[in-house]
Every structure is written in C-alpha cells, then in structure tokens.
C-alpha cells in the first residue's frame, strides 16, 4: 500500500502549512503532492515554495502561479492591468522563485508500483481557472474528464473538499490548506491509500492554525497599502474563512459598473447584510448561511 497526502491551495499561508506538516507526522505518509496555488493571497509565498522544494514534494502550477508568470507580459488579459496583487506576489517571490514556478508542470500522473495511476491537476484538465464542485453536473464533469484515461483524479481550485465518483472517475479534492472558504478556520487536506484495488480516502483532515503570525506578516509588509481594496478583501477572507473578493466583484459590476475600486464602495459592500445574491452559483448551496447576517 502507498499512503499519499494530497494538499492544495496553500496560498502563501505558512502557519497553515506548518500545522499540516505537524499533523501528518503520525500518519506515516509515503509521499505528498501539492495540487497548485501554493502562492498568493498569503504573505509567505516564498517560504511556502522553499518548504515544499526542500521536502521534494511534487507540485503543479495553479492559476495563482500564473499571476506571477504572466502579469505584465503579452499573455496577461487586459483586465489584469488594474490588479494590485500580482506585482506584490512577484516581489514576494523574487526572480529565483518566479523562474522556479515557470518550470512547474500543469498536471502530473503519479505512478506508484502498487496502485493505479492517479492524475493531478488544479482545476480541470488544461484549465486551472475552472473547478469541479459537488453541485457540478455529471454530464459536465464527464465532458471535462473525457480525455483523462486514469480513473483516479486529484483536483483543487474550489477550496471545497470533495470526494465524488462520476462515471469511471473517482475524484478527490483536498480543500484548501491556506484559505478555507467554508467558515471554518482550519487547514484542509486528505490522506489517500492506494493499492491494487485503487485509491481510497483514508482521512480528510481539518487542522487548526494560528492566524496571528499571518496578520502580523501582512502588517510588516505593508500589504494593505500595497494592495488597496483587494488587500482589504483578502484579509476579510482570511479573517472570516468566507468568500469576499468574488462577491465584491459581482456586486460592483451589478451596482456600479462604471466605477473603479474605492474604499467608499468597499465599506458599502462590507455592510451588506446578505451576500448570497453575489456568490458564484456553485457556492450558494454549500455555504449559503455563512453569507447572511
């Protein structure tokens, strides 16, 4: 049997990653894999990559690595020009770790001798910006996975833990280590056991971590001054373990489509008693009560 720990969406949160490392110790894990988005949203992106690299864990790129790699290049979409986080991320990483991220694969196939191959990607094949959710239709997932011959899949991006069987695939999403979005301040990861019978979920772990070092590092780096309105929303996501950036964007597009970001708009948004009308559809059924005062 091979015991595999699946981590994802660490998002530069070193206190959460260290809590997971400590929690894994008694489980005698044979290998750890990281399914993308190791960086951004937290203030320890470089330290996270240093830690993962030092432990020789295989990892892939997610969409947040692309912010470091494509910002201010011809590959960047036009609307990125107003983003404040990519420049901050690039500064955090420095040239060495930006170049290291440039060499990461977008997907992996793990081939242990005593278990079937298991495919790892961040969102869906060839697209790290789209996620599979518990609410996603069987037909849609089957379409997305139609080119995946392996029957076992590790995916991420949603920050929502999920084990799901769809057609011929057994899908594992370990949730988010660094930015939980279900209202619970704990790092989420999975331990999988592989044998000739296939891969099974041995444990879905939720591990408490200390938020104080995270906020202290944000303050030391002058994060709010650097990243403005988005920075405030990111801190709100860490503080409440709930979506804030996506519903703010949806609200502003609906209510003030011609306005840029401002702290006046931010205050108005944060005072809303109910964010459910502005949530991405796939989150409404999962955590709806978390977004209503």
Q: What is the CB-side half-sphere exposure of residue 151 using CA atoms within 13 A?
A: 11
Structure-block tokens of residue 35: 């399914």
At 283 the pLDDT is: 84
CA distance 5 to 174: 9
CA distance 69 to 58: 19
Contact 57, 34 (CB under 8 A): yes
Bridge partners of residue 173, in order along the sequence:
162
Q: What is the radius of gyration, based on Cα positions, of the chain?
A: 19
Contact 137, 155 (CB under 8 A): no
At 290 the pLDDT is: 47
Mark out the alpha helices in 105-206 (DSSP H runs): 138-144
Give the list of residues 6+ apart from residue 125 with CB closer than 8 angstroms, or none.
Answer: 107, 144, 145, 147, 148
Q: Note the pTM of the prediction, 2 decimals.
A: 0.94
Contact 185, 207 (CB under 8 A): no
At 286 the pLDDT is: 66
Q: Which domains does the chain have, with CATH numbers?
A: 2-208 (3.60.21.10), 243-291 (no CATH)
Per-residue pLDDT for the chain (293 aa), expressed as one digit of tens each?
Answer: 999 999 999 999 999 999 999 999 999 999 999 999 999 999 999 999 999 999 999 999 999 999 999 998 999 999 898 899 999 999 999 999 999 999 999 999 999 999 999 999 999 999 999 999 999 999 999 999 999 999 999 999 999 999 999 999 999 999 999 999 988 889 999 999 999 999 999 999 999 999 999 999 999 999 999 999 999 999 999 999 999 999 999 999 999 999 989 999 999 999 999 998 999 988 876 654 444 44
């Amino acid at each position: 049997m091979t015991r595999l720990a699946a981590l994802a969406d660490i998002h530069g949160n070193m206190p959460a990653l260290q809590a997971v490392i400590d929690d894994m110790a008694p489980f005698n894990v044979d290998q750890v894999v990281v399914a993308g988005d190791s960086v951004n949203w937290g203030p320890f992106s470089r330290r996270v990559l240093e830690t993962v690299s030092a432990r020789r864990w295989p990892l892939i790129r997610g969409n947040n690595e692309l912010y470091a790699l494509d910002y201010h290049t011809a590959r960047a979409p036009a609307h990125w020009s107003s983003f404040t986080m990519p420049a901050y991320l690039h500064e955090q990483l420095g040239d060495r770790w930006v170049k290291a991220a440039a060499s990461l694969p977008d997907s992996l196939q793990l081939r242990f001798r005593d278990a079937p191959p298991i495919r790892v990607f961040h969102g869906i094949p060839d697209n790290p910006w789209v996620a599979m959710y518990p609410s996603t239709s069987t037909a849609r997932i089957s379409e997305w996975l139609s080119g995946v011959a392996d029957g076992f899949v590790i995916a991420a991006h949603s920050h929502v833990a999920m084990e799901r069987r769809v057609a011929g695939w057994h899908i594992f999403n370990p949730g988010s280590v660094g930015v939980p979005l279900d209202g619970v301040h704990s790092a989420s990861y999975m331990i999988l056991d592989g044998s000739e019978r296939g891969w099974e979920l041995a444990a879905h772990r939720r591990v408490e971590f200390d938020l104080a070092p995270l906020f202290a590092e944000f303050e030391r780096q002058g994060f709010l001054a650097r990243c403005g309105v988005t920075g405030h929303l990111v801190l709100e996501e860490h503080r409440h373990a709930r979506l804030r950036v996506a519903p703010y964007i949806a609200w502003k597009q609906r209510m003030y489509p011609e306005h840029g970001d401002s702290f006046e708009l931010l205050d108005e948004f944060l005072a809303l008693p109910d964010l459910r009308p502005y949530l991405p559809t796939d989150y409404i059924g999962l955590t709806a009560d978390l977004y209503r005062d």
